Every structure is written in structure tokens, then in C-alpha cells.
Amino acid sequence: MVNEIKVYDKASNELLEALPIDDKAAVTQAAHKARQGQQLWASIDARERCRLMKLCRREFIRDREKIRDALAAETGKAPFDVVGELFSVCQDIGHYAKHTNKWLKPRKVNTWPLFGKKGLIHYRPYGLVGVISPWNAPLNLALSDMLPALFAGNAVLVKPSEVTPLAIKYTVEAFNRVLPVGVLHCLIGEGETGAAVVEEVDMVAVTGSCQTGKRVMQKASEDLTPVLLELGGKDPMIVLDDANLERAVNAAVWGSCFMTGQVCMSIERIYVQKSIAPEFKRLMQEKMQYLKTGPGVDYKQRDYGPFTGPRQVQIVEDHVASAREDGATVAMGGQRLQQENSGVYFEPTLITDVDHTMRIMQEETFGPIACVMEVNSVDEAVQLANDSEFGLNASVWTGDIECGIEIAKRLDSGNVCVNDCILNAGIHSLPFGGLKQSGVGTRHGGADGLRVFCHAQSMMIEKRPRSKEMNWFPDQVKTAGRLEKLMTVLYR
């Protein structure tokens, strides 16, 4: 029986660390300690929690080199993508520290049609939140749920991917130098550990594949545990003939290849109006040729690195091979780049002559692949963009902003950009969540991004010293007659 997780450097295949697996008993023990710690944590004034969380950020910065190097090694990502994850954590802490006290204050509401009463909404933490995070952006995606859960007054059990647990583990250790004992735990393991976490918590937030999300939702349904799911995507890009072609092409190259295409918001389907399609594809091929990747490229010069997920390259190769067999043209790339004792890199790949009968236009590929399909009209582009089981992110590119907004409103997607892509996921004031198979619920979105980790307790208060209400016994018959008369006056 395997009792440890081995974490490897994705560029060199060297063993980084072997970590003991937290079994069901270890998860139960951690949950017990977390519930004890959460009582103290929730009782602390919100302002004081914010102060302590900013001290956590200070400890995170002190350990940044250790965390940065672990993240770079275990993911294989390029320097900008690694530092970007660390910077995002710092930004998130500052954002919630600024607003938490205001957003968690009781909110007064109108009690119409009951006069003279007071209505309040109190935001109370769920108690114990489970966070299950993926391997593609492990630090950013784990902490984007972990942080608001903590700010809201919850304790947290975070279960990182077994492929990339180190940066999260080191971050939790840094935070625990500040937080009350028991409030935050990092649990190491595979699916069994994740299932044990779901059994123990009062709410669970998951970022991962559709298969993972469905398993978690099924497990959570046994106890009606609330879930927050951000799952896969097959994100479309619609390029109109009046678009800024240079900007659209640059976005398409970056949006399909950054982080090796291992992003749920990656641009995977590109629909281009026929009149500009030849020039669009020519420019894409020209620009993709300059991307730097592969085992022979210095780490600091890479545009993107090797695959992080060990099985992902096989999925990408299967999609490319299937597309070829079905008549698509691999205009450039399409091959892995690998040397002995190195990670698995993949060429930036442009595929044309695709259609919706092909797997590569239906299933999530999760690799540095751009598929371009020519369309005759905007209506055709919208119909094809919506012809998917996913609905996470999308983009529209046009010189007419108002037209772009109208097209965006027709897309079956939780999030849409006009003349931009992907970065909307990092805007705190915008909610981010998917439709269809892409998820349940939203993150961010201002106060809602914090309150999603609370339950809203409604409260009605009668302050007047009244002996009874008009609808109480024995006056119900009279009251019914008065209500009916009032109804005819107000609403006919």
C-alpha cells in the first residue's frame, strides 16, 4: 500500500520531496482540531482577523523564495506565471483585508409588507470549509478559496493536488506562524484524502476537472454539504472582420499557449470571419514560431514550460492525431519536445480546417493548441460557440464595442470579454463562475465573493410592546376580509 506522495521536478524529473499521505483518520483528527480552532477564530473581531491575515502575508513574503522555487519546480511553469501566482496571493489578501469588516456587517433590509418591524441579515461563517485544488495553478487556485474562507471566520482544510502540493504546504506553514492553532491544515493525498475532507466539512470549494467536480458533488450530496465548483472549459474566441487583427492574434497566441495551455480559461476554439481568416492564420503562425519552449531553452527565457499533469500530454497527442485523421490541417507544431531526463514539452500548435465533428473542438484539450475555424457570419459564430457542454469563459473581438457587447450577451458562458481574454478571472469586483459542465456558483464579485463562505441568517425583530398581531387568533377572519379589499385597491 502506497503511504507517501512523491513530488517531481517537471523539467528534470528529479525527486523533490516525498510526503506522507494523510489517511481518513488523519483527516478526521485535523477536522476535530480545526473545529476547535474555528470557534476562537470566528469570535475575533473582523478587523483583528484582517490584521492577522496581513501578518500572514508578511510571513508569506518572508518565505517567498522557498515557495517560489517549489512552485516553479513542481509545475514547470515559466517565471512570469510563477511570480504571478505569488503576486495574486498578496493582492487577494490586501483586497479582503480592506473590505471584510464592511462586507460582514449585519445588513438592514426592508420588512414590507409588515410595518414597524426591523429586518437584519447576519453573515455567519459555515464553520469548516474544505478546499480541493488542482495542479495547473496550484497556489493561486487554492488560495483564491482559502483566503476568503479564512477572512469570513472559517477554519480550512486544504487538499492540494498530489502532483503539486509543495507550494501550498509551505504557504500553510508560513500562515500557521500567525493563525490560531488548528485553524488551517494542509492535507496530502489523492482521491481518498479528498473524499475524507468532503465528509468532514460544512462547505467544500473545488477547482478541477468535470469528473472531479461530479465526484465531489455526489459525495457532498450525502449530507447536503454546500459546494462551489469551478470546472473545465472549452473557451471560444469570436473574431469579427472589423477587429484589430494584431491585437486579436496576439491574444490568441497568448491565450492558447500560456501556462502550456493548462488553464480552464485557455482559448481552445477560435471562430474567424472568412474575409480575414487567411491573414489571421498567417499572423498566428508567424507569431507562434517565436515562442520559446523546450528542454534546451533556459528557464528564464521560456514563454511556457513542460506539462505539469503527467498524463496530459497523452490527451493532447490523442486530440491532435484524431483531428488529423478527421481531415484537419496541423499548420505548425503538433509534436512533443523531449530529451532524456527532461520533462515533456509540446510545440506551440496551430490547427486549421477543423469542424465540430472533431474531438478537438468538443473535448477539453488543455495544451498549447490553437484551433481556427472559418465562419460566414456572426450568427454562425455564436451558434458554434454555444455548441458545447462547457460554458466558462469566452471572448468577442470587434472594432464596434456596442456590437461586441450585444454578441457577448448571446453567448452561453458565465464570463465573457470584449477585445480581451482570460484576465477577467483576476478582477475581484467581477463574479467568476461557469455554466453547464463548467461549474456551480461563482467566486469574486465583490462582497458576494466573501459572503459565499457564509450562510446568511435572516432576522426579524419586533421592538414595539404589542400584545398581538392582526393575523393572530382570533382575528384572522376580519384580517382576511381587509386583505382582500386592499388587494382590489392596490393591484387591479
Lowest mean pLDDT segment, chosen from 178-182, 375-379, 446-450, 465-469: 465-469
Q: Which of 225, 125, 229 is nearest to 453 (CA)?
A: 125
Cα 173 from Cα 167, distance rounded (Å): 10
Q: Which structural domains are found in the chain, ordered by start?
A: 4-231+444-455 (3.40.605.10), 235-428 (3.40.309.10)
Alpha helix locations (H) across 326-445?
378-386, 401-409
Q: Does residue 55 carry a pLDDT above 90? A: yes
Is the pLDDT at 413 greater than 60? The verdict is yes
Average pLDDT, the chain: 96
Distance, in Å, from the CA atom of 77 to the CA atom of 153, rounded to the nearest integer, reads 33
pLDDT tens for 437-472 read 999 999 999 999 999 999 999 999 999 999 999 889
Going 435 to 438 to 441 to 444, the CA torsion angle's sign is negative
Distances (CA, A) of 95 to 56, 195, 269, 291: 14, 31, 33, 34
Average pLDDT over residues 395-407: 98
Instruction: Provide the percentage of residues in the chain whose pLDDT is more than 90.
Output: 95
Q: What is the mean pLDDT of residues 234-244?
A: 98
Lowest mean pLDDT among 167-171, 183-187, 337-341: 337-341
Residues 234-263 have a mean pLDDT of: 98
- Report, as an integer, the average pLDDT of 329-337: 96
Q: Which residues are catalytic?
A: 230, 264
Grid coordinates given for 406: 450585444
pLDDT bin (cut points 50, 70, 90) of residue 371 is very high
Instruction: Kindly report, residue by residue over 336-365, the tens digit of the pLDDT.
Output: 997 888 899 999 999 999 999 999 999 999
* Reported confidence tier of residue 1, pLDDT bands at 50, 70, 90: low
What's the grid cell of residue 341?
531526463
Burial code of 192-229, b = ≥16 C-beta within 10 A, e = fewer? Answer: ebbbbbbbbbbbbbbbbbbebbebbbebbeeeebbbbb
Average pLDDT over residues 265-282: 98
pTM value? 0.96
pLDDT in tens, 307-318: 998 789 999 999
Q: What percentage of the chain carries pLDDT values higher than 70?
A: 100
What is the structure's pLDDT at 69? Answer: 98
- CA pair distance 105, 91, nearest whole angstrom: 22
In a 10 Å sphere around its CB, with 0-12 CB exposed, 13-18 middle and 19+ buried, how is residue 436 labelled?
Answer: middle
- Cβ neighbours for 69, distance < 8 A, ≥ 6 positions apart: none
